[in-house]
Structures are given as structure tokens and as C-alpha cells.
Amino acid sequence: MKIAGIVAEYNPFHNGHAHHIERTRAADGACRATHIVAVMSGNFVQRGELALLPKADRVRSALAGGADLVLELPLPWAIASAEAFAFGAVSLLDALGCVDVLSFGSECGETEPLQKVADTLDSDRFAALLRYHLEGGIAFPEARQRAVEEILGKKGASVLEHPNNTLGVEYLKALRRLDSPICPFTIPRLGAGHDGTLPVGDMASATFLRSLLLAGRTANAAPYIPPAALEILCEAAGAGRCPADPARIERAMLSALRRLSREQVARLPGISEGLEHRVYEAIRSSGSMEALLNAVKTRRYPLARIRRILLAGFLGLSAGWETRRPPYIRVLGIGRNGADILRAAKGAALPLVTRVSQFESLPEECRRLFVLESRAADLYALALPLPLPCGTEYTAGMIRPEEP
């Protein structure tokens, strides 16, 4: 048995995700996987946005698309920076104690150039250069790019010009930080780019598909989504469970943010260097989320970071969680071969949660995090066409694929 881990949002599950799973199972040599465990974000994603479909429907799509086990990346890591996002996800795979391979897509399709950049980012020379460029008032991604260019040259640093490469570098850093025995394996990303606005062949970016689905153009999105995942998506739409639309909770978000004190804003994840003052004043003067985002963003503080900060404020999330490892491994869904992985993970380094009732006997940190997840799910439910009642986290069971 060879177990591969995949980190994904499946927002929504599309042909590119199915290709990734297929290639991971068909890899050459030691990286060929017999079993797939996916670590998936819950109802909120790394851009600081709502997932298009509730996590239960996305879990169903992942299982139908070839995953054997789906774990939840807890909220504080799911809506964190790329570094914390990657560290949280890789920590869960490492803690299982049975994952052999970490499989991820990248634009370059090779681990060697990614590893060179990862080594550079962990060096003292890079840290000094990064501080120097940040003091010039430029955004972190640009400062990082300049610092890496000074060490590796333009060609070596060009790796960071592509989002999947950048995330791959963070996975490699996380593996080293954890001293993990998991072997990294990357496959070339096919078709449309990460934020591509046009499809290539039968491949389309999740960004493009979300724009179609939010506009009600499901038929236009259909060629780029596997049939089983499309059926799940259409069933969810018919039941009023998608698409989640942030416009439905905009006033609720503004209301929650306006109730935050300056001190509470200062404790939000992603706040540093006095940014709390800019955010606090913008909250008090803005009448829409668009106006609020535009009032805060600068060259140094890009929109994705601001969206994550504001989402954390809405959900009641304080800084600190994302700097450490997740305290438990929660199983959201299990496929027909998932039991093999659970048996192999009996010696897991973290509590393995397959039933909500287990949280009652776990340490306080685990219970506090689950309460946070539950509250976030209740707020997410208000963004659906037909809002779900409170308490769905307490009644939801582990997802299993339907028998044919």
C-alpha cells in the first residue's frame, strides 16, 4: 500500500483535480499511489472567501473523483497565508503517520527548482534581504521576489511568479520544518492557469468556473467538471445549497466588524505593523465590503490579505492558531478504500476524529477549535440560497459514497 496526500480546496471539484488524482495513481516508481487522502478546506478558503458549495458536497465530489479519505483543514489554517495554509495541511498528513507521498500540482512540474527556492527562503541571507525590501514599503510578495532574485538570479526566482509553484515551495518548507519523511512529488499543471479567465481544452480554472456558476451558467461550466461532481453540484443547487454568495451576508459582516474594538482588530490574524489602525478606521467609515476593501488595500497590503483579515473578524477568529499545528485530525469523508488508511493511521500523532461526539473527551484546545468551526458553519449557512439552520456541524456525519 502506498498512500499519497493531496491538499486542495475543490472549489469546485473540476477536471484538473480529477487529472491530479489520476496522475498520482499512475506515477512512476516509488511515487505511484494506491490510496489517496485529501486535506480539504472547509466552508471558507485561502483567498478569504466563502467556498462555492458547502464542504459536505465538496467532500462527496472528492470521493466520487477518486479520493479515499478526506480530512478537514481547520478554519484558522484554511484562511491563513500560503505559508500557514501549507504548514497546517502538511502537519495533518505528517501526523497521520502513514502517508508516503505529498502530491501537488505546479507550473514547473519538477521538485528541484522548487526545492532550491525553499532552501533560499529558509536562509539567513534571504531573511536579511527581505527585511531590507519590506522597509522600503513594498508588498510582501514583491519584497520576497526581489530578495530571491538577488540570491538565485531572475531565472531561479521566476518560480515564484506562478501561484502553484509558490504553494509547492511552501509545502516543501513545511516538510522540512516538520522533519517529515513524506516524499514530495509534483505533476505539471495542465490547461488554464490558476486564475485563468479562459479554458484550455477541457480544463478550466476554478476561478473561471466559480464566475460561471455564480452567474447561473451551469451549462457553460459542465464540460470542465467530471460528470459525478456535476451531478452533485446540480443536486446541491436544486436544494438551495449553492452557490454561496457573499452579497447575502454583506450587511451581517459589516455589522460584526463595526462591533470590533481597536484592540480586537489588533488581535486579528494577519495584522502587523500598525495595520490595525487603517483597518479599524476603514471599518467605521465604509458602507460596503467593496468600499472597505478599497479603503484598506495598498501596494503593501494586497486584497487577499485584507479579505482574510476581515473574514477572520467576522468569524471571531483571533491570531495565534495558525502559528502552531492543528490539534486534531477530523475525517470528513471516507471512500471504499478509506478504511485501509484509517487502519494504517492507528498510531497517529494527533486525535483522529470520525464522530463529533469524540470532541467531548478531547483536550480543551480541540473543543474550542470545534466550537469556532461550528460558529463559522452557522454564519456560512446564511450565504446559501436557502439558509441552513444552526448546528449542522453537530448533526453532520462522516460522508460515505452512495452504493451503486
Residue 147 pLDDT > 80, yes or no?
yes
Band of pLDDT at residue 191, cut at 50, 70 and 90: low
Residues 287 and 364 in one domain: no
Band of pLDDT at residue 163, cut at 50, 70 and 90: very high
pLDDT confidence of residue 95: 99
Q: How far is CA 299 from the centre of its chain?
A: 24
- Is residue 151 in some structural domain? no
Residue 242 pLDDT > 70, yes or no?
yes
Among 295, 321, 347, the domain-final residue is: 321
Residues 82 and 43 in one domain: yes
pLDDT confidence of residue 198: 73
Residues 317 and 340 in one domain: no
* Distance separating the N- and C-terminal Cα atoms of the chain: 25
- Taking residues 134-150, report their average pLDDT: 90
**Predicted confidence (pLDDT) per residue in 254-309, tens digit:** 999 999 999 999 999 999 989 999 999 999 999 999 999 999 998 888 899 999 99
- Is residue 194 in some structural domain? yes
Band of pLDDT at residue 190, cut at 50, 70 and 90: confident
- Is residue 329 in some structural domain? yes
Nearest to 339 by CA among 92, 78, 68, 103: 68
Work out the mean pLDDT of the chain and round it to a whole number.
95
- Is residue 236 in some structural domain? yes
Residues 196 and 292 in one domain: no
Band of pLDDT at residue 29, cut at 50, 70 and 90: confident
- What domain count does the chain have? 2
Please give the model's pTM, rounded to 2 decimal places. Answer: 0.95
CB 379 within 8 A of CB 340: no
- Is residue 148 in some structural domain? no
Q: How far is CA 183 from the centre of its chain?
A: 21
CA 270 – CA 310 distance, rounded (Å): 10
Among 321, 350, 365, the domain-final residue is: 321
Residues 294 and 359 in one domain: no
Comparing 127-141, 158-172, 366-380, the range with the smallest average pLDDT is: 127-141
Residues 250 and 376 in one domain: no
Residues 328 and 389 in one domain: yes
pLDDT confidence of residue 173: 98
**Predicted confidence (pLDDT) per residue in 381-394, tens digit:** 999 999 999 999 99
Band of pLDDT at residue 197, cut at 50, 70 and 90: low
- Is residue 156 in some structural domain? no
How buried is residue 403: exposed, middle or buried, by Cβ count under 10 Å (0-12/13-18/19+)? exposed
Among 265, 292, 321, the domain-final residue is: 321
The rounded percent of the chain whose pLDDT value lies above 70 is 98
pLDDT confidence of residue 299: 81
Residues 211 and 255 in one domain: no
Band of pLDDT at residue 404, cut at 50, 70 and 90: very low
CA 378 – CA 279 distance, rounded (Å): 25
pLDDT confidence of residue 233: 98
Residues 275 and 328 in one domain: no
Residues 83 and 200 in one domain: yes
**Predicted confidence (pLDDT) per residue in 57-78, tens digit:** 999 999 999 999 999 999 999 9
Residue 376 pLDDT > 50, yes or no?
yes
Residues 261 and 304 in one domain: yes
The residue range of the domain holding 256 is: 246-321
Band of pLDDT at residue 193, cut at 50, 70 and 90: low
- Is residue 226 in some structural domain? yes
Band of pLDDT at residue 179, cut at 50, 70 and 90: very high
Q: Looking at residue 373, which CATH number applies to its domain?
A: 3.40.50.620
pLDDT confidence of residue 183: 97
Band of pLDDT at residue 349, cut at 50, 70 and 90: very high
Residues 227 and 270 in one domain: no
- Is residue 272 in some structural domain? yes
